[in-house]
Amino acid sequence: MLPTYVYLMSAFTLVFIGLYCVSAKRNMIRMLFGVEILLNAANLCFIAFSSRWLPYVDALGHAVVIMSIIIGGCVIAVGLTMVLNAYRHYKTLDVRELRRLRW
Amino acid sequence: MFPPTLLVLMAGAVAASFFGLLDERVGSRSKEVFSSIILAVALYTLYNLYTTVDGGVVLFTVGVGPPLAACFEVDALSVFIAVCTVFLALLCTVYSARYMEHDTRLGEYYSLLLFMTAGMVGVAFAGDLFTLFVFWELMCISSYVLVAFRKERWAPVEAGFKYLIMSAIGATMILFGMAFLYGMTGTLNFARMSEVLSTVEPGIWGLMAFAALFVGFGIKAAVVPMHTWLPDAHPEAPSPISAMLSGMVIETGLYGFTRLLYVVFIPNSALMDGGLATFKVTVGFFAAITMTVANIMALLQKDIKRLLAYSSIAQMGYMLIGVAAATELGLRGCFLHVLNHSLMKGLAFLAAGAIIHQLGTRNLDEMKGVGRRMPVTMIVLTISVLGLGGVPGTAGFVSKFILFASAVGAGMPILTVLGVLNSAFSMAYYLPMLRTLATTPTGELKVREAPASMLVPMCVMAALIIFIGVYPAPAVRFAHMASQALTTNLSTYVEAIVKAMFG
């Protein structure tokens, strides 16, 4: 089996990809992709750590990951509904058009 | 089994949507009545829990035995947070009956409101990070939908999307922090983690877990560099939801962070460089910038709900002072301020909502003289705003006094100075707001007083604010019990859980 740090390095790479995607992309659906990538990076961390403590793979880590995948699906579903509604109002998916609210 | 409060709330949330369907067919108003009854029953079960807990811990496990089972550990602090949540939700539900009367899809609205309450109660009761995360997301997802509830207008959708993206990033950061803690200890149970961490070699992982969890919970709690979703999401939500969001949802973020900090990190502060001072200085720094920046930004607002939203961020800064002090007194002030803020800010948003409901605008300049036509709303709004400013005789004074005093005792007098200055400074936007509402109206102003079912919850809250301000002993005792659960009773908490679950 590969050592844990290999998985952790991959997870951190995914974090940077995800953060870049959320902050730099203009398409609302791609921003949701970014959130999903971040979520999967965290899931990867859990899987990597779950084989670290016991002689067998710890089921707790896997239970958390399965649950977080389900929850992530729900969040993305709500996000896509909002994208759909935003599209109805603005006729575009460009997030720069969504700047009518002040800071 | 689940704690009875959670069972009642979740079953009620599912049933409320069916009552909504029934109402659409028949035209009755059963869902409002039903939701209020469910919340009242939940409050009663909480009272039962309060008498059973009595300074100790009550344990609920779901599923097979530990460590795989989801577990709920209810101590005085959990009950305190849950009581604040359910009470505020009850008042907001009663208020919603008239406020939301012109909206459609109300079955979903009450169902989501109950699910959001269940999520917050679940976070307060959670005994391990897994359970906390599941209920955290239940709360988050319901609140996304509720913020964007009036989807036929553009602003709520836009605010909801911004809120969703930021809050979802926060949730993944919490998941990262969980993963690091899990990697260090091999468990997610709070008590067990606290015990195992004392045998772990110091390293960078503890600090990384702390940073990830601080960012994750900080986004929800609107700590300043991560607050940008709040001034958009809170004003655009329907007013009862704004009251819930400002009153309890952001405090749930603070609760999650405080619980982890005091159970897991501070007892094992030898793990980090600089030990306890690292936590105190970090949290104190964020407390200072949170209240200062938010107060300055609030001064620039013309929209009454946006002003109140910025004021919520400032109040979060005051609460962080108590967390930074890391003493029993500081936590007592912090939790008392959570209770008081849920009443004061909840009332302020409800009163602002009543004005918006009757007048149809949110712009302060167009509200000149509304207070003359809506005297009861004006009086309760004045009480809540004076409380938020910390005027003696209101609830806000008591908790702010304890908070600022605790910072001196913890050797951080700079936080006291900043807190008092900010508190005085905040009057610079509260008082002009009141003056605008109370001046003589310029033209013909056709507004009537809000309906009685909206006035009753507001009057109850106003009475409680005055009551806590004049006779603070019961509330302070309740907050004292909650803070003791994290300080003096912490070792008994850890021992009780570890013995009960891990043998």
The DSSP annotation for B156-198 comes to HHHHHHHHHHHHHHHHHHHHHHHHHHHHHHS--BHHHHHHHHT
- CB count in 10 Å sphere of residue B278: 16
Distance CA B413, CA B415 (A): 5
C-beta separation of B497 from B57 below 8 A: yes
Measure CB to CB from residue B157 to each of A35, A39, A86 and give the nearest one: A86
- Residue B338 above 90 pLDDT? yes
Average pLDDT over residues B198-214: 84
Cis, bond preceding B67 (omega within 30 deg of 0): yes
pLDDT the model gives residue B497? 77
pLDDT at residue number B239: 92
A101 near B CB under 8 A: yes
Q: What 3-state DSSP class applies to B446?
A: coil
Find the Cα–Cα–Cα–Cα dihedral B284, B285, B287, B290, rounded to 10°: 180
Per-residue confidence band for A83, with pLDDT thresholds at 50, 70 and 90: very high
**Segment B113-166, tens digit of pLDDT:** 999 999 999 999 998 899 999 999 999 999 999 999 988 888 899 899 999 999
Q: Assess whether pLDDT exceeds 90 at residue B502.
A: no
Do B263 and B490 form a contact (C-beta atoms < 8 A)? yes
Residue numbers in A near B133 (CB within 8 A):
64, 67-68, 71
Q: Are A101 and B169 in contact (CB < 8 Å)?
A: no
pLDDT given for residue B42 in this prediction: 94
Phi-psi label, residue B269: left if phi above 0, alpha if psi -120 to 50, beta otherwise: alpha
CB proximity list for B500: less than 8 A, separation 6 or greater: B59
Q: Read off the pLDDT band of A102 (50, 70, 90).
A: low
Residues 70-89 of A with CB under 8 A from B: 71, 74-75, 78-79, 82-83, 85-86, 89
Does residue B212 have a pLDDT over 60? yes
pLDDT digits (tens, 9 = 90+) for B90-110: 999 999 998 888 888 888 999
Count the Cβ atoms, other than its own, within 10 Å of residue B169.
21
Name the DSSP letter for residue B224.
G
The domain segmentation of chain A, as residue ranges, is 4-98
Give the pair of three-digit tokens for residue B200.
Answer: 């772990």
- Rounded to two decimals, what is the model's pTM? 0.94
In terms of CA atoms, which chain B residue is nearest residue A60? B68
Asked if A82's CB is within 8 angstroms of B130's CB, the reply is: no
Percent of chain B with pLDDT over 70: 97
Residue B68 confidence class, pLDDT cut points 50, 70, 90: low
* Mean pLDDT estimate for chain A: 86
pLDDT of residue B463: 94
In this structure, of A57-66, B58-67, B194-203, B293-302, the range with the lowest mean pLDDT score is B58-67
φ/ψ of B209, rounded to 5, equals -60, -45
- Check residue B93 and give its pLDDT: 93
Cα–Cα distance for residue pair B113/B91, rounded to 1 Å: 12
Q: Determine the 3-state secondary structure of B479 from DSSP.
A: helix
pLDDT, position B321:
92
State residue B66's pLDDT score. 60
Which residues contact residue B102 at a Cβ distance below 8 angstroms, ignoring those fewer than 6 apart?
none
CB contact (8 A) between residue A35 and residue B145: no
Give the Cα-Cα-Cα angle B206, B211, B212 (nearest 5 degrees): 100
Is residue B404 within 8 A of residue B336, CB to CB? The reply is no
For the cut 50, the answer to whether the pLDDT of residue A103 exceeds it is no
DSSP state of B450: P
Cβ contact B176–A45 (<8 Å): yes
| pLDDT reading at B494 higher than 90 | no
In angstroms, what CA-CA distances link B486 with A6, B107, B260? 38, 39, 10
- The residue of A75, A87, A91, A93 whose CB has the most chain B CBs within 10 angstroms, and thus the best one to mutate to test that interface, is A75
Region A28-47: mean pLDDT is: 92
**Mutate which of B123, B149, B161 to test chain A, going by most A C-beta atoms within 10 A?**
B161
Which residues are paired to B70 by β-bridges?
B62
Name the most confidently modeled range: A7-11, A95-99, B370-374: A7-11
Q: Determine the pLDDT at residue B59.
A: 84
Mutate to test the interface with A, among B68, B130, B146, B182 (most CBs of A within 10 A): B182
Q: Do B183 and A83 make contact, defined as CB atoms within 8 angstroms?
A: no
Decide if pLDDT at B274 tops 90.
Answer: no
Q: Which residues on adjacent β-strands are paired with residue B71?
A: B61
Query: Mean pLDDT over residues B364-391, rounded?
Result: 88
Residue B339: is its pLDDT beyond 90?
Answer: yes
- The least confident of A26-30, B63-67, B201-205, B435-439 is B63-67
User: Distance (Å, rounded) from C-alpha B244 to C-alpha B168?
Assistant: 19
The per-residue pLDDT for range B36-55, each reduced to its tens digit, is 999 999 999 999 999 988 77
Could you tell me which CATH number the domain at A4-98 has? 1.10.287.3510
Question: Is A45's CB within 8 Å of B183's CB?
Answer: yes
pLDDT of residue B250: 92
Question: What average pLDDT is seen over chain B?
Answer: 89
CB interface of A with B, residues 35-54, below 8 Å: 35, 38-39, 41-43, 45-46, 48-50, 52-54
Whether A35 sits inside 8 A of B176 (CB atoms) is no
Mean pLDDT throughout B378-388?
A: 92
